[in-house]
Structure 1
Amino acid sequence: MQGLVLLPVLLCATYHIALSATNVTVADGLLDNGNFEQAPNASNMKGTVVVGRYAIPGWVNEGFVEYIKSGQKQGDMLLVVPEGAYAVRLGNEASIKQEIKVVKGMYYSITFSAARTCAQEERLNVTVAPDSGVMPIQTVYSSSGWDNYAWAFKTQSDAVMLIIHNPGVEEDPACGPLIDAVAIKALYPPRPTNKNIMKNGGFEEGPYIFPNTPWGVLIPPNIEDDNSPLPAWVVESLKAVKYIDSAHYFVPQGRRAVELVGGKESAIAQITRTIVGKTYRLSFSVGDANNSCAGSLVVEAFAGKATLKVPYESKGTGGFKRAALRFVAVSNRTRIMFLSTFYTMRSDDFSSLCGPVVDDVKLLSIRNP
């Protein structure tokens, strides 16, 4: 009888602890005032310059930080804000930071919108100690002037400090990047299954995509990020790849895919377990994202020493085809990689990079090849 009495009490206690933990940890989506729509008090403003470390609700700012309204002019340049009506600009050595409640030992990705203003080689240093990465933002992938970036980290405690810092030193302290719409998403390491040796082959697990920004999310090269925002995959190139969703693009399978937007400088790779001497079949989809990326697109696939070029004649209106590469494993670990052969620009916008879409990557061993 004692066991019967104690069991509900224990269940209630366990449930209460879990509920409490849920309440204190951050949910997927915008951070506290992540879109900067909650403005500083007028007493904390000197023109566009924010005065006081705690002036912007939800954030702590250091250095020359400006609060920018959409449509504001700087000389002959019109400053555009991607989400809502307000953003912040980080001047020389300026930063914004926010403490976030997280689950210790988990992986998270940060997604944020950024645009450069008057400096040519603007960069952003994103830090969640001990992880840190410098994101080059001088290459603009969309004609709007804004791009969304993702960066990932692994937690070492149940509270972390996110810091976004402009390390630039310009003659004009106002020549710094604009920041808007900062969000977070928990990442769950995918596992292989009996139907697919590849992990996250459909790219369904990845960074947060803002529901109202049709630009996708740029995933930086792995030299900038030790923890990939695209679980199981790394960007093994000098340029970023674009993570896209079915709400704004054509996606061959599921809700997410990857667009290779930087030619041969835009590549994704994954190392999988294989058995030496066994034959495997790597299959995948190649297509276009329905974003006016028209013309001759080519995806190159690599599986160890085996290669395959897959041409795709794109009309830029969405579509895909399947391709497959057979190979015999020569190692117990095989590197699978995809890249785009050519640089391509959108036919309706010659200032926006685009490329072929890769999706639904599957790897299986063949018993009787």
Structure 2
Amino acid sequence: MATCAWFLSLCFTLVFCLCNATRTPPISPSLDGFLTNGNFEQAPKKENLNKTVILGKYSLPGWEIDGTVEFVSGGPQPGGFYFPIPRGAHAVRLGNEASISQNVNVKPGFIYSITFGTTRTCAQDEVLRISVPAQTTDISIQTLYSTDGGDTMAIAFKATAKVVKVTFHNPGVQEDPTCGPLLDAIAIKEMPPPTYTEGNLVKNSGFETGPHTFKNFSTGVLLPPHKQDTISPLPGWIIESLKPVKFIDKKHFSVPSGQFAIEMVAGRESAIAQVIRTVPNKDYTLTFTVGDAKNDCHGSMMVEAFAGKGTLKVPYVSQGKGGFKTSSFRFQAISARTRITFYSAYYHTKLHDFGHMCGPVLDDVKVLPVS
């Protein structure tokens, strides 16, 4: 009897060990959301404020500050200013040579994007500098692409350590010390590698992988050109123009397919490209969809596409109410790498808001070999 009990106990122990040995280890969730107090809704204590100026290096919850940083509320301000803060009630303003920074836990070797809402507070050439270890990006906020709450932008970086320090800095020295960029929301997202759909040679062909988008309010996310941000926040694609393109979501815009698309908001200064693998002298078909974002962007639009030695101009007449059309053309590869490029031929603004730049939407890009 004792031998039987011992044998049953041994069997139970072996089964328990095997079950635990084959159990899949827990996967840590990927980052995709606000940084700590990234919407600045946790205010400094009253004793750490001199009117709007924050007193003390660690007085802004979640952040380390340097220089003159103000904690401000949206709406009319003294001196005739108006601060648009559409994503919440509060924001920070960076004075001359001022900065805010935060340490973020990341995975070394992974790509991350940072999405942030910003606007200038004076009619001057204001610049916002975003720094992480081994990378610094300067973003000019002189040109505003929207007039209803400032612009949302995104940059990307490759993590070099388990903890990175993210810093937002105003490098300018303005004559008016009350000027300086406004920050009202900052989020981070771990970027998955770009993928293919079956048979399609284009990575991230529907733009479904991109930076974090704010849920409660969105004017789209501006993606800076490659010369400003060497790692693209749109995996697989190169923003190779002088001006940004805009990453738009289905919740706030009309998107031809899936959840996301690209709006080309800066005319001929707004271009997007990808280098794909091809077989020299083989024929391929490039197919893509053009439309409007249902954002009151109107007029005769034109998207030009290039692949190998082939080109196609696709006209689209927008009423600003949503809609799209699909076009395609055949090209022959001349090397093992082929660059496909798209840009908008014209400049556009909203019908009732000439200060709001807009343009045609691009989505669902496919390159298929001709059998």
- TM-score normalised per structure 1: 0.94
Task: State the secondary structure of the residue aligned to 2:84.
Answer: coil
Counterparts of residues 311-322 of structure 1 (less than 5 Å) = 311-322=315-326
Query: Which of 258, 268, 274 is the equivalent residue of 2:272?
Result: 268
Contact 1:219 1:240 in 2 (8 A): yes
Gaps of 5+ in 1: none
User: How far apart, in 2, do the equivalents of 1:3 and 1:361 lie?
Assistant: 54
Q: How does 1:209-358 map to 2 (within 5 A)?
A: 209-358=213-362
User: Partner residue of 1:33?
Assistant: 37
* Residue number in structure 2 paired with 1:123: 127
In 1, Cα distance between equivalents of 2:320 and 2:88: 30
Which residue of structure 2 lines up, in the alignment, with residue 164 of structure 1?
168
CA–CA distance in structure 2, aligned partners of residues 195 and 287 of structure 1: 24
Deviations 1:94-127 (A, max 9, x none): 1111111112211110000001011511111111
Q: Equivalents in 1 of 2:123, 2:95: separation in Å?
A: 10
- Aligned partners of 2:202, 2:194: CA distance in 1, in Å? 9
Q: Give distance in 1, aligned partners of 2:84 and 2:253.
A: 23
Aligned to 2:154: 150
Mapped to 2, the partners of 1:111 and 1:192 lie a distance apart of 25
2:137 aligned to 133, 136, 147, which one?
133
Amino acid at match of 1:9: N
Q: Is the 8 A contact 1:109 1:207 kept in 2?
A: yes
Name the amino acid aligned to 1:168.
G
Which moves more between the two structures, 223-232 or 77-86?
Answer: 77-86
Report whether the alignment pairs 1:7 with 2:11.
Answer: no
Q: Could you tell me how far apart the structure 1 residues matched to 2:108 and 2:15 are?
A: 34
One-letter amino acid matched to 2:107: V
- The answer to whether the 8 Å contact 2:85/2:149 transfers is no
Give the C-alpha shift of residue 134 in structure 1.
0.5
1:58 paired to 2:69:
no
Query: For 1:141 and 1:50, how far apart are their aligned partners in 2?
Result: 30
Is the 8 Å Cα contact of residues 204 and 236 (structure 2) preserved in structure 1?
Answer: yes
Question: Alignment partner for residue 114 of structure 1, among 115, 118, 124?
Answer: 118
- The Cα shift of 1:85 comes to 0.8
1:95 aligns to 2:99 (yes or no): yes
The code of the aligned residue for 1:110 comes to I
Q: Distance in 2 between matches of 1:218 and 1:161?
A: 23
| Amino acid in the other structure paired with 1:37 | E
In the alignment, structure 2 segments of 5+ residues that lack a partner are 1-10
Distance 2:352 2:218 in 1: 15
One-letter code of the match for 1:277? N
Residue type of the alignment partner of 2:19: P
How far is 1:72 from its partner? 4.3
CA contact (8 A) 1:92 1:168 kept: yes
Report the secondary structure of 1:275's partner residue. coil
8 Å contact kept, 2:93–2:180: yes
**Distance apart, 1:292 and its partner CA:** 0.9
Q: Judge conservation of contact 1:119–1:170 (CA < 8 Å) in 2.
A: no
Larger Rg: 2
Amino acid across the alignment from 2:370: I
Give the structure 2 partner of residue 78 of structure 1: 82
Tell me how many residue pairs correspond in the alignment: 360
Q: Displacement, 1:214? A: 2.8
In the alignment, the residues of structure 1 paired with residue 313 and residue 339 of structure 2 have an alpha-carbon distance, to the nearest angstrom, of 16
* Structure 1: distance between partners of 2:41 and 2:77: 19
Secondary structure of the residue aligned to 1:75 is helix
CA distance in 2, matches of 1:338, 1:27: 31
Report the TM-score when normalising by structure 2.
0.94
